[in-house]
């Protein structure tokens, strides 16, 4: 059994008009959401052994905000294709992994939402419907795969078991 956690970066800012997209930082709401998200990750026991993070500034800040609750010391990689690539690039990278499980991705939309939709096969349909229309910033979807190797995961084979939505945490 393999577990994949797909997280979109927290809310970012467009406040610096001259900044490149790659350099955009989290805004105050995004930074505040990270504490709530991290607490939920810790309470639900989602501990990655490998984190694949886009090299963009806002994804790195998201990673920094949740790392303190990791009880494991995960391997961290920053492949360029997780900033500039598409869903096929995300899936290809995952399928090339060796033994690491669980794996967490921290990336961007539309790739995070499209990846979760492409991999979804079974599981919590209500949660799935909440993330298919829009994959909000800071969302973490957790999917399990009934295979032993990452190269064996395919589209439509994931079981969505949980989803952390920051807007729901704010109401709690």
81, pLDDT greater than 90 = yes
What's the total number of domains in the chain?
1
Mean of the per-residue pLDDT values of the chain = 91
How far apart are the C-alpha atoms of 13 and 7, rounded to whole Å?
Answer: 18
Instruction: Provide the CATH number for the domain around residue 107.
Output: 3.40.50.1240
17, pLDDT greater than 80 = no
Q: Within 13 Å and on the Cβ side, how many CA atoms surround 101?
A: 19
Q: What is the pTM of this model?
A: 0.93
Range(s) of the domain holding residue 40: 2-171
pLDDT in tens, 142-155: 999 999 999 999 99
Q: What is the pLDDT of residue 80?
A: 94
Tell me which residue of 14, 28, 4, 38 sits closest to 166, measured CA to CA. 38
Band of pLDDT at residue 171, cut at 50, 70 and 90 = low
How far apart are the C-alpha atoms of 31 and 69, rounded to whole Å?
Answer: 15
Q: What is the pLDDT of residue 168?
A: 79
Report the share of the chain in percent with pLDDT over 70.
Answer: 95
In terms of DSSP bridges, do strands 75-77 and 120-123 run parallel, antiparallel, or are they unpaired?
unpaired
* Greater pLDDT, 163 or 127: 163
How far apart are the C-alpha atoms of 26 and 132, rounded to whole Å?
Answer: 23
143 φ/ψ angles, rounded to the nearest 5 degrees = -125, 140
96, pLDDT greater than 90 = yes
pLDDT in tens, 102-153: 999 999 999 999 999 999 999 988 888 888 778 999 999 999 999 999 999 9
* Greater pLDDT, 109 or 172: 109
């Amino acid at each position: 059994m393999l577990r994949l956690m797909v997280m979109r970066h927290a809310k970012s800012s467009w406040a610096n008009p001259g900044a490149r997209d790659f350099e955009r930082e989290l805004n105050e709401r995004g930074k505040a959401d990270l504490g709530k998200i991290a607490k939920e990750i810790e309470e639900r026991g989602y501990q990655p052994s490998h984190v694949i993070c886009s090299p963009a500034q806002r994804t790195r800040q998201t990673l920094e905000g949740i790392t303190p609750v990791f009880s494991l010391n995960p391997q961290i990689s920053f492949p360029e294709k997780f900033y500039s690539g598409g869903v096929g690039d995300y899936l290809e990278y995952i399928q090339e992994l060796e033994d690491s499980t669980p794996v967490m991705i921290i990336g961007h939309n539309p790739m995070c939402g499209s990846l979760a939709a492409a991999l979804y096969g079974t599981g919590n349909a209500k949660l799935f419907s909440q993330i298919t229309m829009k994959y909000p910033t800071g969302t973490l979807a957790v999917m399990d795969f009934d295979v032993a190797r990452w190269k064996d995961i395919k589209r439509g084979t994931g079981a969505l078991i949980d989803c952390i939505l920051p807007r729901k945490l704010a109401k709690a």
